[in-house]
Amino acid sequence: MLDTNSKIYIAGHRGLVGSAIWDNLLKRGYRNLIGRTHAELDLTDQYAVRQFFDEERPDAVVLAAAFVGGIMANNLYRADFIMMNMKIQCNVISESYAHGVKKLLFLGSTCIYPKDAPQPMKEDSLLTSPLEYTNEGYAIAKIAGLKMCESYNLQYGTNYIAVMPTNLYGPNDNFHLENSHVMPAMMRKIYLSKLIHDRDWTAITRDMTKRPIHPDANLSSLIGEDRIDGQSSRERILKALSFYGISDNTVRLWGTGTPLREFLWSEDMADASVHILLNVDFKDIVGTEKYSSVFYGTKADGLVDRNNSGGRGGAIPSLGEIRNCHINVGTGKELTIRQLAELIVKVVGYEGTVEFDASKPDGTMRKLIDVGKLHSLGWTHKVDIEEGVQRLYDWYRQSIEDCRF
């Protein structure tokens, strides 16, 4: 059991979810928190990660760090997505075990589920059919991560829990046009289109200063620059924005707008994560009295607990298959991408046109998760999508207002 004096390392503590988990723990009285920026600790560097664990010796670890992006980035940088995430996970999980970490929480993604999984997707849908092609690399890495947690628990009696959040959004979200997820990308595009129509160059300059564009080769050849920010000419800014489907009162979005998506407010995800970190153990997920021997086996089993975790340290073949011990985290509610766009249009006060480019990929057509296991463990979401979109827009606008140029 973790108390308020426990040392907790949050990998990815400045990210969307990691920062929210940090704040949630602080509000609960947990002050002994550790965080490292990427510049301070490269989690893909095995030696650096080992040295960090040697020095800090955390009691618990939250693995919220990942190499992430939207459909375009996932499809373009397939090798990077699988390699970078596998390195991060292998380094952090293996060093957590080697240093006797009592509890680990691994954050994955619901993209682990097959493209055509029955809806809503239960945890048991994992590995039942092919994945969505466009984010296959990231999904495979996350599946490997949750299987590492599950396997360490079964072999060594550790207490590592994997949670699979649905699409997340909230404070500290990534609004960069090159690699952001669907909601922040859509919100920024609609907002910038409105600003162009309003001829509000002060706000556009603030926005581009806060979140400059780092063009790929195609855009660089079009605009003749390798960076677009608030100091760039109006002509080049407009060309760059047009490249991403943003013009005067017109926004072009990828796909048909018909895919259904579920969204979870990041601070809700943080609250669910902390609830599980503090109150849920592997034995609670496995469930039955029969399986409790995974944690409470006797010396007669002939297996040794190498992690001093109170577990038995080895799977018992007679128990049969123990799998899909991860936990879905979401709302159990969904809306179409077109409905999301309409909601953002309303919140932003946009009076222009939103067009959908059906020649671009939609991705998975539906990704609703079953949250029955999560509810049975004592947690449900609090922020619905209408409130969350307004909160996100308010945060985004404030982040721009705070920018000085």
Mind giving me the DSSP string for 94-157? HHHHHTT-SEEEEE--GGGS-TT--SSBPGGGTTSSPPPGGGHHHHHHHHHHHHHHHHHHHHH-
pLDDT of residue 71: 63
Instruction: Convert the pLDDT of each residue in 308-343 to its tens digit.
Output: 444 445 555 566 789 999 999 999 999 999 999 999
Comparing 35-39, 211-215, 280-284, 366-370, the range with the smallest average pLDDT is 211-215
Q: Domain-by-domain residue ranges, the chain?
A: 8-170+263-329, 182-260+333-367+384-401
Burial classification of residue 130, based on how many CB atoms lie within 10 Å of its CB (0-12 exposed, 13-18 middle, 19 or more buried): exposed
Q: What tokens appear for 93 in the block?
A: 């999980």
Statement: residue 222 has pLDDT above 50:
yes
Q: Name residue 166's amino acid.
A: T
- What is the spatial distance between Cα 48 and Cα 42, in angstroms, rounded to a whole number? 7
Instruction: Convert the pLDDT of each residue in 121-180 to its tens digit.
Output: 999 999 999 998 888 999 999 999 999 999 999 999 999 999 999 999 999 898 988 777
CATH topology of domain 182-260+333-367+384-401: UDP-galactose 4-epimerase; domain 1 (3.90.25)
Mean pLDDT value across the chain:
89
Percent with pLDDT over 70 in the chain: 86
Question: In Å, what is the CA distance from 169 to each residue of 28, 80, 119, 176, 292?
Answer: 22, 23, 22, 14, 36
Select from 295, 332, 333 the least CA-distant residue to 311.
Answer: 295
CATH topology of domain 8-170+263-329: Rossmann fold (3.40.50)
Contact criterion met (CB below 8 Å) for 17 and 107: yes
Select from 393, 135, 364, 136 the least CA-distant residue to 262.
Answer: 364
Residue carrying structure tokens 């940088």 = 77
Q: Which residues contact 195 (CB under 8 A, 6 or more apart)?
A: 203, 204, 207
Positions marked catalytic: 138
pLDDT of residue 189: 98
Question: Of 333 and 69, which is predicted with more confidence?
Answer: 333
Kindly report the number of other CB atoms within 10 A of residue 213's CB atom: 23
Burial classification of residue 22, based on how many CB atoms lie within 10 Å of its CB (0-12 exposed, 13-18 middle, 19 or more buried): buried
- What is the spatial distance between Cα 159 and Cα 40, in angstroms, rounded to a whole number? 27
Statement: residue 75 has pLDDT above 70:
no
Instruction: Convert the pLDDT of each residue in 8-32 to its tens digit.
Output: 999 999 999 999 999 999 999 999 9
Instruction: Convert the pLDDT of each residue in 106-137 to its tens digit.
Output: 999 999 999 899 999 999 999 999 998 888 99
Question: In Å, what is the CA distance from 179 to each residue of 88, 90, 137, 216?
Answer: 20, 24, 16, 11
Q: What's the predicted TM-score (pTM) here? A: 0.87
Q: What tokens appear for 391 in the block?
A: 């909160």
Select from 78, 73, 107, 75 the least CA-distant residue to 92.
Answer: 107
- Residue 280's Cα: distance from chain center in Å? 20
For residue 15, give the DSSP letter.
S
